[in-house]
Chains A and B, each alone.
Chain A
Amino acid sequence: MTQVAGRVDAARILLGDEAVALGAIDAGIAAAYSYPGTPATEIMETILAAAPEGVTARWTVNEKTAYEAALGVSMAGRRALVAMKHVGLNVAADPFINSALVAIGGGLVVAVADDPGMHSSQNEQDSRYLADFARIACLEPADQQEAYEMTREAFDVSERFHIPVLLRLVTRIAHSRSLVTTAPPLPPGPVAKVESVADWILIPSNARRVWRRLLGAQDDLQEWSEASPRNTLYLSQDDRGLGVITAGIGRNHYLENLPDLGFIPSHLHIGAYPVPAAAVRSLAERVERILIFEEGYPFIERSIAGVLPTRWEVLGKAPGPLPLDGELTPDTVRTALGLPERPRITVAGLDLPARPPQLCKGCPHDDSFRALLAAVGGDDGAVVMSDIGCYALGALPPYEAIESCVCMGASVGMAAGASAAGLRPALAVIGDSTFLHSGVTPLIDAVAHDTDMTLLILDNETVGMTGQQPTVLPGSRLEPLIAGLGVDREHLHVLEITPKRVGELTGMLRAEMAHPGLSVIIAVRECVEAIKNRHRGGKS
Chain B
Amino acid sequence: MKADIVFAGIGGQGVLSAAAILAEAARRQGLVVKQTEVHGMAQRGGAVQASLRIAPDAIASELIPRGSAQMILGLEPVEALRYIDYLVPDGLLVTAADPVADLPGYPPIALIHEQVRSLGGHLIEADRLAREAGSHRAANIVMLGAASVLLSVPPEILDACIGDAFAARGDKVVAINREAFRLGRAAIAPARR
Residue of B27, B45, B47 touching A359 (CB-CB under 8 A): B45
Residue A540 is within 8 A (CB to CB) of chain B in the complex: yes
A435 to B30, CA, bound (A): 48
A249 to B20, CA, bound (A): 21
Tell me which residues across on chain B come within 8 A of A41, comparing CB atoms.
39-40
Residue A179 is within 8 A (CB to CB) of chain B in the complex: yes
Closest to B35 in A: A177
Tell me which residues across on chain B come within 8 A of A173, comparing CB atoms.
62
A143 → chain B closest CB, angstroms: 8
Tell me which residues across on chain B come within 8 A of A341, comparing CB atoms.
66-67
Q: CB distance A329 to B63 under 8 Å?
A: yes
Q: CB distance A119 to B10 under 8 Å?
A: no
Residue B105 is within 8 A (CB to CB) of chain A in the complex: yes
Residue A469 is within 8 A (CB to CB) of chain B in the complex: no
Q: CB distance B41 to A13 under 8 Å?
A: no
Residue of A120, A350, A354, A540 touching B42 (CB-CB under 8 A): A120
The segment out of B75-83, B140-148, B179-187 that lies at the interface is B75-83
A361 → chain B closest CB, angstroms: 8
Q: CB distance B44 to A357 under 8 Å?
A: yes
Residue A407 is within 8 A (CB to CB) of chain B in the complex: no
A350 to B77, CA, bound (A): 13
Tell me which residues across on chain B come within 8 A of A346, comparing CB atoms.
84-85
What sequence of 0s and 1s flags, for each residue 360-391 of chain A, a beta carbon within 8 Å of any chain B beta carbon?
10000000000000000000000000000010
The segment out of B53-61, B123-131, B152-160 that lies at the interface is B53-61
Residue A353 is within 8 A (CB to CB) of chain B in the complex: yes
Tell me which residues across on chain B come within 8 A of A330, comparing CB atoms.
60-61, 63-65
A384 to B184, CA, bound (A): 49
Q: CB distance B63 to A38 under 8 Å?
A: no
For the residues of A in contact with B, the DSSP-based class is loop
Tell me which residues across on chain A come within 8 A of B46, comparing CB atoms.
355-358
A257 to B64, CA, bound (A): 11
The residue among B43, B44, B81, B169 with the most chain A CB atoms within 10 A of its own CB is: B44
Closest to A171 in B: B38
Q: CB distance A357 to B67 under 8 Å?
A: no
Tell me which residues across on chain A come within 8 A of B40, comparing CB atoms.
38-39, 41, 119-120, 465-466
Tell me which residues across on chain A come within 8 A of B37, comparing CB atoms.
175-177
Closest to A255 in B: B60
Closest to B44 in A: A357
Closest to A344 in B: B67
A42 to B107, CA, bound (A): 37
Closest to A334 in B: B65
Residue A256 is within 8 A (CB to CB) of chain B in the complex: yes
Residue A476 is within 8 A (CB to CB) of chain B in the complex: no
A266 to B39, CA, bound (A): 36
A390 to B45, CA, bound (A): 11
Residue B191 is within 8 A (CB to CB) of chain A in the complex: no
Residue A417 is within 8 A (CB to CB) of chain B in the complex: no
Residue A27 is within 8 A (CB to CB) of chain B in the complex: no
A3 to B85, CA, bound (A): 29
Q: CB distance B119 to A13 under 8 Å?
A: no
Q: CB distance B44 to A465 under 8 Å?
A: yes
Contacts A3-B58, A252-B61 given: A465-B81 contact, CB under 8 Å? no
Contacts A172-B62, A352-B81, A355-B10 given: A347-B44 contact, CB under 8 Å? no
Q: CB distance B65 to A175 under 8 Å?
A: no
Residue B73 is within 8 A (CB to CB) of chain A in the complex: no
Q: CB distance B103 to A355 under 8 Å?
A: yes
Residue B135 is within 8 A (CB to CB) of chain A in the complex: no
Residue A262 is within 8 A (CB to CB) of chain B in the complex: no
Within 8 A of B (CB), among A84-127: 119-120
A255 to B65, CA, bound (A): 12
A331 to B67, CA, bound (A): 10
Q: CB distance A347 to B84 under 8 Å?
A: yes
A342 to B44, CA, bound (A): 33
Residue A490 is within 8 A (CB to CB) of chain B in the complex: no
Q: CB distance B44 to A390 under 8 Å?
A: yes
Q: CB distance B41 to A357 under 8 Å?
A: yes
B54 → chain A closest CB, angstroms: 11
Residue A203 is within 8 A (CB to CB) of chain B in the complex: no
Q: CB distance A177 to B39 under 8 Å?
A: no
B72 → chain A closest CB, angstroms: 10
Tell me which residues across on chain B come within 8 A of A344, comparing CB atoms.
66-67, 85-89
Residue A393 is within 8 A (CB to CB) of chain B in the complex: yes
A538 to B168, CA, bound (A): 10
Q: CB distance B41 to A120 under 8 Å?
A: yes
Tell me which residues across on chain A come within 8 A of B84, comparing CB atoms.
345-347, 350
Q: CB distance B39 to A175 under 8 Å?
A: yes
What sequence of 0s and 1s flags, for each residue 316-353 of chain A, a beta carbon within 8 Å of any chain B beta carbon?
00000000000001110010000001111111001111
Tell me which residues across on chain B come within 8 A of A249, comparing CB atoms.
62
Contacts A8-B30, A331-B65, A536-B169 given: A357-B42 contact, CB under 8 Å? yes
Closest to A9 in B: B30
Residue A5 is within 8 A (CB to CB) of chain B in the complex: yes
Residue B33 is within 8 A (CB to CB) of chain A in the complex: yes
Residue B163 is within 8 A (CB to CB) of chain A in the complex: no
A19 → chain B closest CB, angstroms: 13
Q: CB distance B85 to A177 under 8 Å?
A: no
Residue of B12, B64, B103 touching A353 (CB-CB under 8 A): B103
Question: Contacts A41-B40, A343-B67, A466-B40 given; 19 further ones with Cβ under 8 A?
Answer: A3-B57, A11-B27, A38-B39, A39-B40, A42-B39, A120-B42, A177-B36, A178-B32, A249-B62, A253-B61, A331-B66, A342-B68, A345-B87, A345-B89, A355-B79, A358-B44, A358-B46, A359-B44, A465-B40
Show 11 residue pairs from A and B whose CB-CB distance is below 8 angstroms, ordered by the A residue.
A5-B57, A177-B33, A177-B35, A345-B85, A353-B104, A355-B103, A357-B43, A360-B45, A465-B44, A538-B168, A540-B17
What are the nearest 7 A-B pairs in CB distance? A120-B40, A38-B40, A357-B46, A344-B67, A342-B67, A1-B58, A353-B105
A residues neighboring B (CB under 8 Å): 1, 3, 5, 8-9, 11, 13, 38-39, 41-42, 119-120, 172-173, 175-179, 249, 252-258, 329-331, 334, 341-347, 350-360, 390, 392-393, 465-467, 536-538, 540
